[in-house]
Structure 1
Amino acid sequence: MHRATTVFPMSSQTSPSSIRAPIQIGSSVSTACWNKAIAGVRAAAFWAAVVLPLAYVPAAYGVMGFEGAWSAIALIAVHMACVVIGHEHNTPSNNPSTNA
């Protein structure tokens, strides 16, 4: 019976880019988490900017706690902040042909 021998070549030429230090790995994980958090905030702000105009009608009639001009001004300010923060939100497409 003949056994096959596996030979692993020894390489003394390890490129510095193939070895990643733990700080680099942690940094890339931190960056990925930060990007996900930013995407979540942008998505929430985008959808809040879509839904907030529905609150203008009760604010115009002074119902549901919207009493006085300051609450209407605050509503408009929050809406504008949501528009500014959420304007770069984009939903990922499942169709690869639309990403080109």
Structure 2
Amino acid sequence: MSSKTSSRSIRAPIRIGATLSSACWNRAVASVRAVAFWAAILLPIAYVPAAYGVAGFEQGWRPLALIVLHVACVVVGHDHHGSGGHA
């Protein structure tokens, strides 16, 4: 009888740890998706200064980097579902 109890008591923390780790991972992924989603929405505002060469966008690679960042945010954030309960 004690062997059953001891094996259960050993497995329980492992299950709890795995569940907690999974929950933390899921929360982190959801947070990154949310930030990428909102960044994808707000980044086009930066296109205006880039179009006029303001704020250090004179070099040719910076506007391209802005576009690449925007595309990356769109790709990462496309699965974001807000907390409003919409599916």
The TM-score by the shorter chain falls in which range? 0.7 to 0.9
Alpha-carbon distance, 1:88 to partner:
0.2
Residues of 2 paired with 1:93 and 1:64: CA distance?
A: 36
1:83 match: 74
Bigger Cα displacement from structure 2, 42-51 vs 56-65: 56-65
Where does the alignment leave 5 or more consecutive residues of structure 2 unmatched? 1-10
Please point out which of 1, 22, 46 is paired with 2:13.
22
Q: Which residue of 1 aligns with 2:4?
A: none
Larger relative helix fraction: 2
Aligned equivalents of 2:73, 2:23: Cα separation in 1: 23
What stretches of structure 1 of length at least 5 have no aligned partner?
A: 1-19
Instruction: Give, in whole Å, the separation in 2 of the partners of 1:92 and 1:41.
Output: 14
How many residue pairs end up in the alignment? 77
2:23 pairs, out of 32, 50, 55, with: 32
Q: What is the root-mean-square deviation of aligned Cα atoms in Å?
A: 1.4
Which stretches of structure 1, 4 residues or longer, exceed 2 Å deviation after superposition? none
Tell me, in whole angstroms, the C-alpha distance in 1 between the residues paired with 2:18 and 2:58. 48
Instruction: Give the C-alpha shift of residue 68 in structure 1.
Output: 1.7
TM-score by length of 2: 0.82
Equivalent residue of 1:93, what SS? coil
- Asked whether 1:66 is paired with 2:67, we answer no
